[in-house]
């Protein structure tokens, strides 16, 4: 897969998932507009990229639209796979609610073949181990600074003191 071609497709508005899928590029190389699969699509159509064949190891980690870190994970009602979405692109999904339907808090709908399909779950994406470690380090640093102030020592050089 050519990285420049992938980036160009993403700039044109293609989902990063499709842009990094080998099936998409096979279709493009054959002269198709994309992969040509009718049963593989993303959450906007109620799917979860069921036939994805690419190098993204975990589709929950990155926003399926732009590829930035996801903040939420969504799961459509007919799939077990969770797909990541960032805060910015989540707002676009909230626009996809039925015009005549009553939407309860926590519910979200996505279009599928012209009808609306309920997205069954939208949860905050679990933190990675690395993110958890960074948060813990920040917490410890804040605690160390508080203790140093309380004890009257220089937080940058606690052994020497003030």
Structure tokens at 25: 């590029």
Q: What is the pLDDT of residue 106?
A: 45
pLDDT bracket for residue 102 (50, 70, 90)? very low
pTM above 0.95, yes or no: no
| Confidence band of 158 (pLDDT split at 50, 70, 90) | low
| Both tokens assigned to 160 | 């020497």
Q: Sorting pLDDT into bands at 50, 70 and 90, what band is 160?
A: low
The token pair that represents 120 in the structure block = 């069954």
d(CA 44, CA 53): 19
Q: What is the pLDDT of residues 22-49, one digit of tens each?
A: 999 999 888 888 888 877 878 777 778 8
In angstroms, rounded to a whole number, what is the distance separating the alpha carbons of residues 79 and 85? 16
Residue-wise over 60-73: b if at least 16 C-beta within 10 A, else e? bebbbbebeebebb
């Amino acid at each position: 897969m050519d990285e420049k071609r992938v980036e160009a497709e993403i700039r044109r508005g293609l989902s990063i998932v499709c842009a990094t899928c080998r099936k998409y590029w096979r279709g493009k190389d054959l002269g198709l507009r994309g992969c040509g699969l009718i049963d593989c699509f993303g959450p906007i159509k109620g799917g979860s990229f069921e036939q994805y064949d690419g190098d993204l190891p975990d589709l929950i980690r990155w926003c399926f639209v732009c590829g930035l870190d996801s903040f939420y994970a969504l799961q459509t009602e007919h799939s077990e796979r969770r797909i990541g979405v960032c805060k910015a692109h989540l707002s676009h999904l909230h626009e996809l609610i039925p015009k005549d339907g009553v939407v309860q808090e926590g519910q979200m709908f996505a279009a599928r073949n012209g009808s609306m399909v309920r997205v069954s779950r939208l949860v905050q994406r679990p933190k990675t181990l690395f993110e958890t470690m960074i948060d813990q380090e920040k917490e410890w640093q804040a605690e160390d600074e508080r203790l140093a102030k309380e004890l009257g020592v220089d937080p940058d050089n606690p052994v020497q003191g003030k």
